[in-house]
Amino acid sequence: MPTTLSASEITTPRTAITRTVLMCRPDFFTVDYRINPWMHPEQPTDTSLAVRQWQTLYDTYVGLGFDVQLVDPIDGLPDMVYAANGGFVIDNVAYGASFTYEQRQPEGPAYMDWFRAQDFDVRVPENINEGEGDFLLVGGVILAGTGFRSASNSHAEVAAIYGRQVVTLELVNPSFYHLDTAIAVLDATNIAYLPSAFTDQGNATLQRLFPDALIATEEDAAVLGLNSFSDGYNVVIASRAKDFERQLRERGYNPIGVDLSELLRGGGGVKCCTLELRR
């Protein structure tokens, strides 16, 4: 038994900051094309189950005191439920999405229309990017994913728009094709991640920036456990991500499990269904 605890093992008091988020009810959710390895169009989906599971996530956020806003789902855009991909919003500035695959391209303008109607300062993107799927704000720094979806030139665009440091991280595993499937932002200084999802260079960068990061197991990542949403204390996660839950508790967070198994069949989890709106 060790007699002293390392810095990362000491339970720090955590502070919840009430969030404003955008969600999209999966009324038209199905899997009828395959743009990531999780999707199997030959297997039937249950849209009403997806809606019920999504409602649990919605209710969880409302219960945490979040301001949850809704964008209308559009028939024929089955992936629109993954609101994280609809843009990236900081300081009232909404950087629009420009999707990699044509099946999702109409979602970009649909989300930008919603941002405009809500008086966000909308920036029409010049480069391919999938919003908060690949851009994660940690304190003052923006972590930016590339390799499968967002193009690296979108990282430079984001740096110019927000005047913040953007750290490029290259993803290498097609199952973890968006940054938010491989990194969970816990608060302004802490993250959790899956090392095998990144290049050696990416791992070196993450170790340097976050030496105390929580390291997720392959098992938890395989149920998109890292695809979670934190308010700084409460962390909404996939209920099947048991080791992640334990590690969060050990570090003074309050993990809250939800089951989004039907939405996992589209390759998305908690975070994918959640776009943070920062005014």
Task: Give the interface with ligand ARG as residue ranges (CB under 6 A).
Answer: 35-36, 39, 79, 82, 84-85, 104, 133, 178, 180-181, 266-268, 272
Closer by beta carbon to ligand ARG, 14 or else 95? 95
- Amino acid identity for residue 230 in this structure: S
Q: Minimal distance in Å, beta carbon 58 to ligand ARG? A: 17
Q: Minimal distance in Å, beta carbon 51 to ligand ARG? A: 17
Would strands 166-170 and 183-185 be described as parallel, antiparallel, or unpaired?
Answer: unpaired
Would strands 214-215 and 191-193 be described as parallel, antiparallel, or unpaired?
Answer: parallel
Q: Which of 24, 40, 155, 272 is catalytic?
A: 272
Q: Minimal distance in Å, beta carbon 11 to ligand ARG? A: 30
- 272 a catalytic residue: yes
Closer by beta carbon to ligand ARG, 14 or else 269? 269
CB 54 within 8 A of CB 260: yes
Q: Minimal distance in Å, beta carbon 5 to ligand ARG? A: 34
How far apart are alpha carbons 86 and 134 in whole angstroms? 11
Closer by beta carbon to ligand ARG, 77 or else 167? 77
Q: Minimal distance in Å, beta carbon 150 to ligand ARG? A: 11
Closer by beta carbon to ligand ARG, 97 or else 186? 97
- 40 a catalytic residue: no
Please, which residues have CB within 8 angstroms of residue 263's CB and are 6 or more apart in sequence? 26, 29, 50, 53, 54, 81, 269, 272, 273
Closer by beta carbon to ligand ARG, 8 or else 28? 28
Q: Minimal distance in Å, beta carbon 103 to ligand ARG? A: 8
Closer by beta carbon to ligand ARG, 66 or else 82? 82
Q: Which of 24, 40, 155, 178 is catalytic?
A: 178
How far apart are alpha carbons 262 and 39 in whole angstroms? 11
Q: Which residues are catalytic?
A: 178, 272
